[in-house]
Structure 1
Amino acid sequence: MTADFGYAETNPLAPLPHEVADRLRPHFDSMVDMVVRRIQEKVPEYARPGNRTYLTNTREAVEEGFEGFLARIGVTAPADDGFRERFRTLGAGEAHEGRSLDSLQVAMRTAVVLMWRRISEVQMAEPDVFPQRYVGPVAEALFLFLEELAGAATEGYNQAQVQVAGEVRRRRGRLVDLLLSEAGPASEAVAEMALAADWRPPAAVAVVVLGGRDVETAPPAALPSDVLSDFNRIEPRLIVPDPDGPGRMRTLGTALRGWHVAVGPTVSVTEAPSSLARARETLSLVNAGIIPGKQIVRWADHLITALLFRDEELMREMVARRLAPLIELRSVQRERLAETLLAWLQCGFNAKQVAQKLHVHPQTVRYRLRQLEELFGARLFSADCRFELEAALRVRVLTGWEESEPRTGDSTGPVG
């Protein structure tokens, strides 16, 4: 074997006689069972009497670790350290089990400490085989060995975490598709897929639809872990558990800064499709400029607007028929009378309050009201008609007068 001087310089065990490994090997072999027991005492996760896989894996890792260390004694060229692959595999296993690397690191430190104790015992009992001058290099080598094992485990852990995260994302994507399917999901199917996606079904959810950004914009990286998301759509959507919880929307707003966030009603998990439909309606009203484009817009805060625009054709017909008496007026007069009529309806027919709201003289309000009475006649004294007039005037404010062109054949309409 050709010497690798760089390796010899970094391997503290290279200067030791190779025979030292042969003298230490029986001592290491005899302590494997004891080390395994001590690891199981220190790490309860590895002590599973009914599962021999954990015992077998722990024992094999200890044996391969011991042999990997001994194989470095007196070696000036890198050995084929296959044991590193073992520890990469162990690190990956911790990721797949959903644990951190803490347990594995405790196990490795425990084994190395016991190795050092045994080496110290051998040095004291057989100083001719293991002289004092070897103690320093062996201690340094043990430290570096532990560092190398930890590095291999971390490498395997990180690689597995990427795979696990990718699989969880795929499963959660399928879960979103199931929850938002038009037919509505069966509770049994939701429970099964939620378990596979590591998602605990909550008592209530709200569906969020996002807009206001280019479809190429990267998804936010800081969404709460229990929020399901699908950014592979023109209108990305989220399923938010416990949407009415304290600070929930504030946290979501921080994570989604720069987006328009339309929030559907709070529903049970199996009713998520209905929340999606309301959220999409709300976002369309935001995009049309009918609902002010605040960052977070909740459907529940705009019920009247949602109701008025649920059937756009019907809404246009109502506005055209109920406000037809204003259409033929000059634009300035039409604007003033429409504004006064809406204020009068909203103020409980109190002319003084209307004057204060519009910043005009009460006598001006009374004059305009007389004009409105001439235009609308008895309809101003019908509760049903006043309700329709207020709704139509609200639509006019939200959409602009150009949305209120008259229909031919009906300039007055029936009362009520």
Structure 2
Amino acid sequence: MVDVVVERIQERVPEYARPGNHTYLSNTREAVAEAFEAFLARVGTTGPPDDGFRERFRSLGAGEAHEGRSLDSLQVAMRTAAVMMWRRITEVQMADPRVFPQRYVGPVAEALFLFLEELAGAAMVGYNQAQAQVSGELRRRRGRLVNLLLSDSAPSPEAVAELALAAEWRLPAQVAVIALGGRKVETEPPPTLPSDVLCDFNRVDPCLVVPDPDGPGRIQSLGNVLRGWHAAVGPTVEVTDAATSLCRARDTLSLVSAGYVPAEGVVRWVDHLAASLLFRDEELMRTMISLRLSPLHELRSAQRERLSETLLAWLQCGFNAKKVAVLLHVHPQTVRYRLRQLEELFGDRLNDTDQRFEMEAALRVLSLSGRIGPGTDPAAGP
């Protein structure tokens, strides 16, 4: 009967059909034999199977997890054995009721179903324990891979490839790093991410390593997953340059956190290069604002607001008063009047290309930081 069941199991579960592996075949046969013997010993008793037998099926469940399979194959095998055992019992009962009286059919059937349920439960326990262990080890390996990729010194391609293989991470051609902020990981569960995205929410500054980030909708789809987070993505780089992408992403995230850049989805560093440059050295920008916009210091707040806004628009529109009027929604004559005021205040400075460049940079900083507005002193800086 054991041999027949093993053959039937191998027919129904291709994963278990390994004719060249005598050890595997022997183990399968041994498991079936033990199950039969344990069931026959169980009939007529009320206690559960002994711990050793439960451990056997916990080990089988764990083996399925380590093989990378679900429990479906093992459950099919157990059901197959149970069905064939019951078929044999009914054959015996029908052939000679004196050997197996009818009154025993019900209790034995109940015992068989209960026994099968206990085997499945033991296998599930082993499977879950092994899967948790495998998952935990994989997380540790991936955490080590993140640390390697984001280390201060660029890792060697060989080291990255070796650890990527151990972490079951397909090595991409390029990556980008997303810096995260704005939520407390301790109080909220991390988002569910695609399996190929490396993540480390245990870092002081959580981040993601995204393979092949320029794929269609790649970053946008992550933005949907990361709702509620402040997120900024650095440039696309070679895998060994991931630390550079992280640095740029953090620069951009700081702009988002400060309110200089809107927190809309995953903010791209490449879309805010000017802001990243202007806020790189805030002390320098405060000095530039103080020096290059000094003629505006003594004006009343309302007049200072109007002239600052007009000067920035004039510099951005290539000194075209009509374009400035359209941009500011005012009459061209109003723009010309304000420009005459600016010429009186700044004089020849407006003819100096270097000073015009620095004025525009200073005004852009004030605009991004919300410092151009009624009652605001441009000299106050960002």
What SS does structure 2 have at the residue aligned with 1:71?
Answer: helix
Does the CA-based 8 Å contact 2:43-2:108 persist in structure 1?
Answer: no
Number of the residue aligned with 2:280: 310
The runs of at least 4 aligned residues of structure 1 exceeding 6 Å deviation read none
Number of the residue aligned with 2:92: 122
Counterpart AA for 1:57: N
Distance 1:247 1:354, change over 3 A: same
Please say if 1:45 is aligned against 2:15. Answer: yes
Distance 1:91 1:253, change over 3 A: same
| Long gaps (5+) in structure 1 | 1-30, 407-416
Q: 2-side partners of 1:263 and 1:322: how far apart?
A: 33
Does the CA-based 8 Å contact 2:313-2:324 persist in structure 1?
Answer: yes
What is the Cα deviation at residue 338 of structure 1? 1.7
What SS does structure 2 have at the residue aligned with 1:240?
Answer: strand
Number of the residue aligned with 2:341: 371
2:162 paired residue among 169, 192, 198: 192
2:61 paired residue among 91, 115, 121: 91
Q: 2-side partners of 1:129 and 1:215: how far apart?
A: 66
What SS does structure 2 have at the residue aligned with 1:238?
Answer: strand
Q: Which moved more, 1:375-384 or 1:271-280?
A: 375-384
Q: 1-side partners of 2:309 and 2:359: how far apart?
A: 12
Alignment of 1:16-95 (within 5 A): 31-75=1-45, 77-78=47-48, 80=50, 82-95=52-65
- Aligned identity (percent) is 75
Deviations 1:45-70 (A, max 9, x none): 22234544432331221111111111
Please say if 1:324 is aligned against 2:294. Answer: yes
Number of the residue aligned with 1:3: none
2:173 paired residue among 203, 206, 211: 203
Q: 1-side partners of 2:380 and 2:119: how far apart?
A: 78
Q: Which moved more, 1:378-387 or 1:236-245?
A: 378-387
Q: Which moved more, 1:396-405 or 1:255-264?
A: 396-405
Number of the residue aligned with 1:350: 320
Distance 1:236 1:217, change over 3 A: farther
What is the Cα deviation at residue 151 of structure 1? 1.5
What is the Cα deviation at residue 116 of structure 1? 2.2
TM-score scaled by structure 2? Answer: 0.88
Q: 2-side partners of 1:361 and 1:76: how far apart?
A: 96
Does the CA-based 8 Å contact 2:260-2:368 persist in structure 1?
Answer: yes
Q: Which moved more, 1:41-50 or 1:241-250?
A: 241-250
What is the Cα deviation at residue 335 of structure 1? 2.6
Does the CA-based 8 Å contact 1:264-1:279 persist in structure 2?
Answer: yes
What is the Cα deviation at residue 302 of structure 1? 0.8
Does the CA-based 8 Å contact 1:220-1:256 persist in structure 2?
Answer: no
Deviations 1:368-393 (A, max 9, x none): 21232334344434555433332221
Aligned-residue CA RMSD (Å)? 2.6
1:281 paired residue among 236, 240, 251: 251
Does the CA-based 8 Å contact 1:230-1:237 persist in structure 2?
Answer: yes
Deviations 1:274-333 (A, max 9, x none): 110011111112222222333532212211101222233443343334333433444443
Number of the residue aligned with 2:77: 107
What SS does structure 1 have at the residue aligned with 2:237?
Answer: coil
| Long gaps (5+) in structure 2 | none
What is the Cα deviation at residue 183 of structure 1? 0.8
What SS does structure 2 have at the residue aligned with 1:262?
Answer: strand
Q: 2-side partners of 1:259 and 1:166: how far apart?
A: 25
